[in-house]
């Protein structure tokens, strides 16, 4: 085996959340005067922590977001998740085919990671192995959350594989010195590859890629 640990992003990799959360974000941005489509939200904000998103949003608005805006956005996402959130197609079978220690390292807050995995029935696969960018000084594209996960899981970064779906996440994994596998579902495959990912398009491909001869 080439790897000692597989680190999964959560949104868009384990749970099929990117379209839901970015649709809500686009609506919330449009309501405060920053006209945004779901596609534009995915392009500009996918993979970022809320702090990273707010830096961009407030620079474009030229002012802070209204008081309570973040809380309203999070509440609306939570409502949508509880109604519509599902596992990414094929991810459960892919996880069954990966006989390695696995964990989650996400830009989302700890409670959102947990809630997403509980709603989709995946929490038991990762209990006690959830890591959030809110625990480190810098979010993606910096490597901090992946290095935290490796350290807590007692794995050398060079022996870790990262599974990501966003350009920022791929950059973070590469910066951590880890092998990165880019899930090209909501992001452009060429962009992910350009940042150093080995690209795949269906979750059933992942186990074979992780155990392919010569993969480092």
Measured in whole angstroms, the distance separating CA 184 from the mean position of its chain's CA atoms is 12
Distance CA(47)–CA(27), nearest Å, equals 18
Q: What was the pLDDT predicted at 212?
A: 77
Whether the Cβ atoms of residue 150 and residue 176 lie closer than 8 Å to each other: yes
Whether the Cβ atoms of residue 11 and residue 106 lie closer than 8 Å to each other: yes
Question: What CATH number was assigned to the domain covering residues 5-16+86-210?
Answer: 3.40.50.1000
Q: Assign domain 18-84 one CATH number from 1.10.1040.10, 3.50.30.50, 1.10.150.240, 1.25.40.10.
A: 1.10.150.240
Distance CA(206)–CA(137), nearest Å, equals 30
List the domain boundaries for the chain: 5-16+86-210, 18-84
Orientation of helix 18-31 relative to helix 69-84, angle to 10°: 150
Measured in whole angstroms, the distance separating CA 122 from the mean position of its chain's CA atoms is 15
pTM equals 0.89
Is residue 7 reached through a cis peptide bond, with omega within 30 degrees of 0 on the bond before it?
A: no
Q: What is the pLDDT of residues 101-128, one digit of tens each?
A: 999 999 999 999 999 999 999 999 999 9
Q: What was the pLDDT predicted at 1?
A: 47
Q: What is the pLDDT of residues 72-101, one digit of tens each?
A: 999 999 999 999 999 999 999 999 999 999
């Amino acid at each position: 085996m080439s790897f000692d640990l597989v680190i999964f992003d959560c949104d868009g990799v384990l749970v099929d959340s990117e379209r839901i959360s970015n649709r809500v974000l686009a609506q919330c941005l449009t309501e405060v005067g920053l006209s945004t489509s779901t596609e534009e939200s995915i392009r500009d904000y996918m993979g970022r922590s809320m702090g990273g998103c707010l830096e961009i949003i407030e620079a474009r608005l030229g002012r802070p977001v209204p008081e309570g805006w973040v809380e309203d956005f999070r509440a609306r996402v939570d409502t949508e998740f509880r109604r519509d959130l599902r596992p990414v197609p094929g991810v459960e079978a892919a996880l069954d085919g990966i006989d390695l220690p696995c964990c989650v390292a996400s830009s989302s807050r700890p409670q959102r990671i947990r809630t997403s995995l509980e709603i989709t029935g995946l929490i038991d696969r990762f209990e006690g192995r959830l890591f959030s960018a809110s625990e480190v000084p810098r979010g993606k594209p910096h490597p901090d959350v992946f290095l935290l996960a490796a350290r807590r899981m007692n794995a050398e970064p060079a022996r870790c594989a990262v599974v990501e779906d966003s350009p920022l996440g791929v950059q973070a994994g590469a910066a951590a010195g880890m092998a990165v596998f880019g899930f090209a579902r909501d992001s452009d495959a060429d962009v992910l590859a350009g940042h150093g990912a080995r690209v795949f398009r269906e979750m059933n491909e992942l186990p074979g890629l992780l155990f392919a001869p010569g993969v480092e």
